[in-house]
Structure formats: structure tokens, C-alpha cells
Amino acid sequence: MDKKEPQDHKTAAGPVTFKTSAGKLTLPHPTSIPSGVIRRTRKMEDAVDQFFGLLEGIFGEDSDEMTLCDKLTMEELGGIFTEWMQGASLGESSGSSI
């Protein structure tokens, strides 16, 4: 019987930093989000609830990052989310700015 070698695993991409109207916001690469955060938000039907649940799961509800997010318009925050998720599908982790 042949000895099986461990499977090679990709290292998760690095964080992504966005320049916002309220300061810099650094998000982990979407592939680096803990699965428990995804599990807790997966059944939320409202996209806004799911998005904020995801951010609160990453940063903590009363964190400095959430305080920064609270200062952003939904248009700006939505743009950040879109760019963040597009980076996940492309496998990019370079710094971004909006």
C-alpha cells in the first residue's frame, strides 16, 4: 500500500484595507473569516442583517471598527462590501481603496 502524502493547503490571503471617509478599515480576506461567524449569519434572511452580523462577528459589536462603520453611509459601506467580496472571488488580497 502506498503511503499517502499530506494534501497541500493554500494559505489564506492577507487582510484588505479600505480608505473610507471616516478612516481606514481593515477586513480579513473573506477566506480567512472563521467558519463560526459564517455559520451564525447564514440563515439571516435580510442582507443588511447578514452583513452587519458578519462585521460584528469579525470585529465585535462594540469595537472601534464598528464605530467607524457606523459613521459610513450605506452607499460607501455597500461599495466596500462589494469590492471586498470581489477580491475573494479573484483571490486577491492587495490593499484597496474606495
Determine the pLDDT at residue 95: 47
- Note whether residue 97 is domain-resident: no
CB atoms within 10 A of CB 26: 12
- Note whether residue 90 is domain-resident: no
Average predicted confidence (pLDDT) for the chain: 83
What range does the domain containing 25 cover? 19-76
Q: Name the nearest CA neighbour of 59 among 50, 49, 69.
A: 69
Determine the pLDDT at residue 68: 97
- Note whether residue 32 is domain-resident: yes
- Note whether residue 60 is domain-resident: yes
Determine the pLDDT at residue 86: 85
**Model confidence pTM above 0.85:** no
- Note whether residue 45 is domain-resident: yes
Determine the pLDDT at residue 54: 94
| CA atoms of 61 and 44, how far apart (whole Å) | 17
pLDDT band at residue 82, thresholds of 50, 70 and 90?
A: very high
Number of domains comprising the chain: 1
More confident residue, 4 or 35: 35
